[in-house]
Structure 1
Amino acid sequence: MRGPWLRKIVIAFAAMGDTSFYKATVTDADFTGATLKNVNFNRAILTRTCFKDTVKLNLARPGNTLLEKPIVRDLLINPSSGEEKDLSKANLRGAYLKEANLQRANLKNADISGATFEYANLSSANLTEVNAVYTNFNSAYLTGACLENWNIDTTTKLDNVDCQYVYLLNNEKERQPSSGDFKTGEFTKLFEEVFDTVNLIFENGIDWKAFIETMKTVQVENEDTPLEVSSIENKGDGVFVVKVKVPPDADKEKIHQEFEENYQLKLQAVEAKYKALLDAKENEISSYHRENANMMEITKILASRPINIETKAMNNSPDNSTNITTGDINNTGNLNTGKIIKDVNNTIDNISESDNNENEQLKTSLKELMQAIETENELDDEEKAGAANNVKTIAKASQKPEDEGLQKKATRAVKLLETLAKGLKPANKLYTACQSILPQIVTFLGITL
């Protein structure tokens, strides 16, 4: 509870100059109007700490707290300035934003866990995939907000939320309610019902083989936590929403993240197999063309000679269908893992030399990683192909540090390799290799996981 005596104490300390709250717990403190020049907040716990109208907060030492980013710091000083601000991926953990104006603000992927948004205006704000565990939305205004895949649980406070309607998908799709407005209390009731549900959104259809394998993997990784598909909704344009029921005490954020990572890993393995099959088919066609060309040459030679040629019809075997279905694909052909691994090794070999020898060290590390993938007995050919393609992505990204899109793909590739390694025993070669090599790759590329 905030009290005048507490506010006087913290302001008095701050006014001393060079005050240090290093590693201190400053929860619920009120610095309103205080001058905070040179105050050390490094590694302090600033949950629900009020910085409204503070002076020279930009000259304080924020360390790795939520004060580190200027855009967040300015919002904490002036909560009414957040309209249409881009706060995507921002660290707002524990932020005190009571009565803040965040109308049409972009908070996609932001961490707002433990934050206070009481009476805040979040109308038409983008809250896609925010982490809102322990977050206080009591009496907040949320009409028109996008709540796609936001992470809430029983600790999220939604009492007396003022909301006429929301969207469950981006671009104002999946309006709730479909028509009209929420009646009093309906918004809170709607989301209390999903506290035990993880929503999985697929924007390009669902590969059911990868989906089922992912469900099994995530269940094992979470100590056989019961996972039950409660509904599958087709939203059109290839968009599906799968609702997975989990126990009330389950870590929904962890399950959602692990599902996404494992699904992408399985999907890459399936796509690698399809690509190998298509490549094999193209090779067959090329071989046919070459043979046909040779036959034409032979025909021309024989045609110039005074002999009779008996022409026999050649019945070519029917072509296998290349239509991709969601059925069993285990017997559709052999995956040329060796060819894929050779291709990846060639990509690594093409990494250019550098003056400080860093590239050579990276090449050596990637080669070791490929060796571990190739010899890992616990992986099937699909998983090896998927892992190898992730290494290829990393190798390409190392040569184009200015390519932001490629760097994001490399970050994703590292995460997928980490996820793959977690499914192995510590004694496995690939597990050991990932533990030692992936941190080196992260440092070399300068990426943040």
Structure 2
Amino acid sequence: SGKDYTGANLSGANLKGANLAGAILIGANLNGADLTDANLEGANLSKAQVLDVDFSGANLTETCIEDWSINSRTSFKDVTCKIIYIKQGKHGFLEPKPDSGEFQDGEFEQWIDELQETVDVLLHDFDFGGWKALGTAIDKTANKYQGINKSRWKIEQKDENIVLAQIGVSPTADKPAIHQSITNNYYNELSIQGNKANILLNPSEKVEIMENKNENPTVSGDLVSGDKTTSGNVNLSGVNITNSDHMSWVNLNGQINNTIQQLQDIKTEKGEDLATILTALQESINGDSVLSEAQKKEALEAVETIAEEGKKTSGERLRKLCSMALNALKGLTAAVTDTSKLATTLKTYLPTLTALLDL
């Protein structure tokens, strides 16, 4: 008990009846583990992966579960849990649930089930630029509607350039309004990206940016609820979406320079460190003779996404968007040789970058 298993790979482990009281399991991989009847009282499961875990009969009282990952097959049958904490502070666990009193028999399992509610939206034209558009859409919607959990969302590839986005919401959230807002803002952002690309590539043409022309387009997307799918047509009244693929990697550098400058202007130690690393990544991408132009464009888009999220406070930052951008960079470098400048730079800075982004 009380041992430190931070980041440990315990996937599939047989931990039935184990005494893990007070254990530190931050970021541990427990996917598929058997934790039936285990004692996890006071344990720290922040950022732990607990997909398909069987917690049946386990003691989870006073455990911290900030940003842990569960799924519908994570079992909490007959668990003992009087109080759970959903935030980890510098000097202990914060934000106990329930808000007052203690969970009674069966209430914790019900509370966990409610946490898994989502708004599911099918999104088209989803290349790498779509990740940034979705992040912006979630941000804007969360500012307008209550009940959105910005730290709990995922995307699942359904077809080429089509994904299913699942965004965590509370049971009392206005799901239809949130669905409509996310869809509107997503296509709105894609249109802005496309029009800005047109201006960069065709400066002689007069292109009206959507931010000025049409702030509230009418959009109906595909809402997925349970096993039923209700399809609708995407109708962007008066808006012409231009695919952001036309933006060359050269033009992306200007955007990145501006964003990095904004990071430096924040004048925090983390902001300056992040700006230094992103500048190094940008320079390595531009000077990389191994990467194709398409790969450079994708890598620069990832750097731009990280820079944009880096400007936000830790609480506002979309960590999964940062993770996807980092994964894109890692995927690119895994596909090239060791002579890649980007591969060398990323290997050097990856641990620090991950820490700066609180991943």
Q: TM-score interval w.r.t. the shorter chain?
A: 0.3 to 0.5
Q: Whose strand fraction is larger, Structure 1's or Structure 2's?
A: 2
TM-score for the superposition, normalised by structure 2: 0.47
TM-score for the superposition, normalised by structure 1: 0.39
